[in-house]
Structure 1
Amino acid sequence: MLFPTVALTVLSFVLLPLMVFADPDPTPIPAPTPAPTPAPTPAPSNNTSSANYGRTVAVLNQQDFCLFLPRYYGGEIAPSESTAVAFCTKKLAAAPNSRILPKYFIKSAHYVRNTHRGYVQVTGRMDRTKYGLSRHDEGGQYDPQAPRWSKCTGYNYFVSLVEPNDNIYCIRCCRNKYDCPVNKSELGCRRVIGGNYS
């Protein structure tokens, strides 16, 4: 009658390892959570981008206005059309981070405000030597396309030309596109922006 005892011993020998190595908590282990995908960096707004600094001009009156000029002293006008920065007659809140025009650079300034058509302009003479501009430089045009992100405070459009060889400059800021033509730069200030250049 030893058979039941032997059978019980054999059964215990087989089941004991299974009991020892069995997981006491049968709850399944969750899969690891994947790391979140970072959100794409939003494109900078034209109004807040650092690229906008120094790219805003203003035409307020005969004494307070700005022009675009080459970033560096002695630069050429046309080659700098995409990199130019704003220079103003003095520090203006309407032209953030603009520079100050060199002393005696502006020799004359004639301001016109057309309330019916909604534009303002300044035309006049300059002394190219005060910023090292060349007398052989026939100049070029600045508008909202060049330099990029440029604008005139309070207006939808602007056009400005600087002609060192003739020592004249002009800028007009407009509500309407047709008052600020940007496709006539080769005609120069006197044809693009009629005004007083004395």
Structure 2
Amino acid sequence: MTPPQTPARRRFLFQGASLLTATTLPAWAHASTAGGRQLDLRHTHTQERLDLVYAVGGDYLDPSLSRLNRFLRDHYTGEVGSMDPLLFDQLHQVRTLLGARMPYEVISGYRCPETNGRLRQKGSGGVAKKSLHMEGRAIDVRLPGVPLAELRDAALSLQAGGVGFYPESQFVHIDTGRVRRW
């Protein structure tokens, strides 16, 4: 049987547990309470899901960026590219603007040059010869529960890069290139 806890004892135990937690958990584990930026993604081709904090304040978290690079790999070849963290900021801002709770559905992230060329030859619509997907600066997404036009408009409102609208394929393209729309 444990002895009854006095208020001073409870405070001591709580402070000790808080100190232990603060010194044993990595910084990213505290990010949600310290202004962290978070992404929740589900890949439509691989069926993988990733929910993580990728930045705290002005600092990007390298382990999270590595996990995002792997998650957004070329799903045709498995090749992992290096994604632009500013793209993650755009996704985070759009989701915040929309007040969305569901994870993004990712259609395409990084694309190696060979995959990009093959998709162009197949006549897949909207595949640019110098696609920013090959530089890790573009992503194609949709957000369940949010009309596609609202997702497009939220991305456009950021004025942070290119936004392509593909209602027939049910996705919005977002990139960190020059500000433009199609």
TM-score range, shorter chain: under 0.3
Provide TM-score, normalisation by structure 2.
0.28
- Structure number with larger C-alpha Rg: 1
Higher relative contact order (CA 8 A, sep 6+): 1
Provide TM-score, normalisation by structure 1.
0.27
